Structure 1
Amino acid sequence: MTIKNLIVFLAEDDEDDRWLFEQALENIKIKTELSMFKNGKELMDFLKKPDSIQPHIVFLDLNMPIKNGMECLKEMKQHDNLKSIPVAIYSTSSSEKDIENTFVNGANIYINKPNKFSALKKVIEKVLQLNWQYQTSNLNKENFLFRI
């Protein structure tokens, strides 16, 4: 029996943050295939292609040029083929307004970008281990904001 890799998408405009995320994924025990996008438009263009591979989860930065994370989230949740994909907001913002808006618009979890590599590995691993069917059925404000 072959173990299927988790398909992970990251939409992040900061090159250093993309590199750190990739390094963290390579340093955890979960087998993944990572696709990275430099902005929300790249992500949405790819996701909307009729033959595109659908990810198991999308990590979405909020503050990106061209199309920001909130615009992507809203667009994904309104699109029949995309609305069931779990979305983890991955942002430096700890604004209550951002957290509330992403929750209301259907994000599955909100992660403040950790400033230590060890914490980044830990948070990514924990998020990837979640059973998203269970997680989405019990979604509430208390388990939405993910802290390490």
Structure 2
Amino acid sequence: MSRSDDIVLTARHWIGTPYVHQASVRGAGCDCLGLLRGVWRELLGAEPESVPPYSMDWSEPQGDEALLRAGLRHMRLKDRHDEAPGDVLLFRMRSDAVAKHVGLQARAGEGASFVHAYSGHGVIESPLSPPWRRRIAARFALPTEN
């Protein structure tokens, strides 16, 4: 099994986990960052840094790109159009907002999809439709080891 297959399979094991703000426990609850944190722990071991408590609107009032900076510290930045299964996607929910939604690409090309935790839905796999593609602020590759 390839590295990307491992990432996608691990992310899909989280599908059905309820949405719980700041949580990161498969089957019990997670938010979008918690999903990434959980997949990281399952595949790479300990998280690279502790995550401080954050509010639902974290980083927005200050315009702070905290999640983007963390991604740059711990993952390899890719071209936004160089898509592959297993990529970590960082989204801006509005064009003038900080990037603060995370997902893991499950399929690329025709029928592209991503796994993410979404308020009111829990962890789901969604089509990477044009509206979602327009929101991609950054695309990362997980490291091969921690």
TM-score of the pair, normalised by structure 2: 0.30
- The structure in which a higher percent of residues are helix is 1
- Higher relative contact order, structure no. (Cα contacts within 8 Å, ≥ 6 residues apart): 2
Q: If each structure's strand is expressed as a fraction of its own residues, which one has the higher value?
A: 2
